[in-house]
């Protein structure tokens, strides 16, 4: 090599000869930050889930116990019901998002004029960047049972409750489903669909037997977002859920007084997510993320 390097013995020359040192130099700062300020607190939180709080002094008792998890799963306590409801909400949001996103993406990818396509896609995606809180707020004014928009114009509103939570969470996370599904549909070669028609299949048959199996990985990829984002939410529930409570609300309500229990619930949501990811990683959809 005929590189005119910095003089031997200078720091630059040392780095030139030691790629390991260069790598360490690059990663030292970001890794210190992420490990000390993020990973350590997260790991400690999971460890705390196995401790308890002394009910008299409020101090942490650092001895291993499964008490918190037993309390979550105890049928006489309200938490198991809350966990199942949270799961039901996350699943409903995902299903509704799929039902809306598939025809929407089909329209965008295969019917809309190519000239208009970028604009239409932007129209679908733009709300993704509007503030989360503002969108939930917008739905509060929509659904308000006393003189909200739906009530005054249609004379009907679901009011605040579980239905409202599913509607608003679907509203919030729908773009995360539309984007992968739309990209997935665009990647399906038109020749395959033409071949299906040539062989005599009608629209529905082509859709069911050719298009849908091909975009299934994209749908699964989108469901990771809609499912996990719904699972951890608590602010939407606070604002439009009425008396409804999800796991996130339990964490929020207990973390100041009983950190180990809050940590156990938080770990439970993460466990559910990991379980979901593990279940779908076998489908190969994760490479689509």
Residue where the block lists tokens 């001895």:
63
Judged by CB under 8 A, the residue of 166, 169, 174, 240 near other proteins is 174
Look at phi and psi of residue 161 and say left if phi exceeds 0, alpha if psi is from -120 to 50, else beta: left
Copy the structure tokens of residue 133.
Answer: 């809180």
Of 86, 95, 93, 273, which is closest to residue 172 (Cα–Cα)?
Answer: 93
- Contact flag: residue 48 with other proteins (CB under 8 A): yes
Helix/strand number for the chain, H first, E second: 15, 2
Min separation Cβ 142 and other proteins, Å = 5
| Residue choice 104, 163, 212, 214 for contact with other proteins (CB under 8 A) | 104
Using the rule CB under 8 A, is 165 a contact of other proteins?
Answer: no
CA–centroid distance for 243 within its chain: 24
Which of 95, 98, 163, 183: binder of other proteins (CB under 8 A)? 183
Stretch that binds other proteins, among 63-71, 75-83, 116-124, 158-166 (CB under 8 A): 116-124
Distance CA 6, CA 16 (A): 9
Stretch in the footprint of other proteins (CB under 8 A) among 4-12, 50-58, 62-70, 279-287: 4-12
Residue 286 within binding range of other proteins, rule CB under 8 A? no
Q: Which of 44, 73, 84, 199 binds other proteins (CB under 8 A)?
A: 44
**Scanning the structure block, which residue is given the tokens 């299903």?**
95
User: Taking CB under 8 A as the rule, does residue 100 contact other proteins?
Assistant: yes
Instruction: Determine, following the binding rule CB under 8 A, whether residue 111 of this chain makes contact with other proteins.
Output: yes
State which residue, 55 or 191, has the beta carbon closest to other proteins.
191
Under the binding rule (CB under 8 A), the answer on residue 108 touching other proteins is: yes
Positions 229 through 258 that interact with other proteins (CB under 8 A): 229, 231-235, 239, 248, 251-252, 255
- List Cβ neighbours of 201 (8 Å cut-off, separation of 6 or more): 209, 210
* Euclidean distance between CA atoms 64 and 48, whole angstroms: 9
Task: Check residue 83 for interaction with other proteins (CB under 8 A).
Answer: no
Q: Nearest distance from residue 89's CB to other proteins, in Å? A: 13
Instruction: Please work out the total of residues on this chain that contact other proteins, with binding judged by CB under 8 A.
Output: 97
| Min dist. Cβ of residue 162 to other proteins (A) | 19
Assess 81 for contact with other proteins (CB under 8 A).
Answer: no
| Token pair listed for 147 | 């003189």
Q: Give bridge partners of residue 60 from the DSSP assignment.
A: 53
Nearer to other proteins, 29 or 76 (CB): 29
User: Which residues are within 8 A (CB) of 101 and not within 5 positions of it... i.e. 6 or more apart?
Assistant: 174, 177, 178, 181, 182, 219, 222
> What residues have CB less than 8 Å from 136, skipping those under 6 apart?
168, 172, 235, 236, 239, 240
**Which residues in the 120-139 window bind other proteins by CB under 8 A?**
120, 122-127, 129-135, 137-139
Q: Is 116 in the site for other proteins (CB under 8 A)?
A: no
């Amino acid at each position: 090599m005929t590189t005119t390097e910095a003089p031997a013995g200078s720091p630059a020359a040392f780095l030139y000869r030691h790629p390991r040192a260069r790598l360490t130099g690059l990663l030292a700062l970001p890794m210190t930050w992420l490990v000390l300020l993020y990973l350590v607190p997260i790991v400690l939180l999971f460890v705390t889930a196995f401790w308890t709080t002394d009910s008299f002094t409020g101090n942490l008792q650092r001895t291993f116990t499964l008490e918190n998890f037993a309390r979550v799963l105890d049928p006489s306590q309200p938490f198991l019901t809350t966990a199942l409801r949270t799961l039901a909400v996350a699943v409903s949001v995902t299903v509704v998002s799929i039902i809306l996103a598939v025809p929407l993406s089909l329209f965008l990818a295969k019917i809309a004029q190519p000239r208009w396509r970028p604009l239409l896609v932007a129209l679908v995606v733009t709300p993704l960047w509007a503030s989360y809180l503002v969108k939930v707020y917008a739905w509060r004014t929509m659904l308000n049972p006393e003189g909200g928009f739906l009530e005054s114009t249609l004379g009907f509103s679901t009011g605040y409750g579980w239905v409202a939570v599913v509607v608003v969470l679907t509203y919030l996370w729908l773009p995360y489903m539309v984007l992968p599904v739309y990209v997935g549909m665009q990647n399906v070669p038109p020749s395959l669909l033409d071949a299906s028609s040539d062989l005599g299949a009608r629209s529905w048959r082509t859709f069911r037997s050719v298009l849908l199996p091909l975009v299934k990985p994209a749908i699964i990829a989108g469901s990771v977002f809609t499912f996990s984002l719904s699972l951890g939410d608590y602010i939407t529930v606070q604002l439009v859920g009425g008396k409804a409570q999800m796991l996130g609300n339990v964490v929020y309500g207990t973390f100041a007084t009983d950190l180990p229990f809050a940590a156990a619930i938080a770990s439970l949501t993460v466990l559910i997510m990991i379980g979901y990811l593990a279940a779908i990683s076998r489908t190969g959809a994760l490479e689509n993320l």
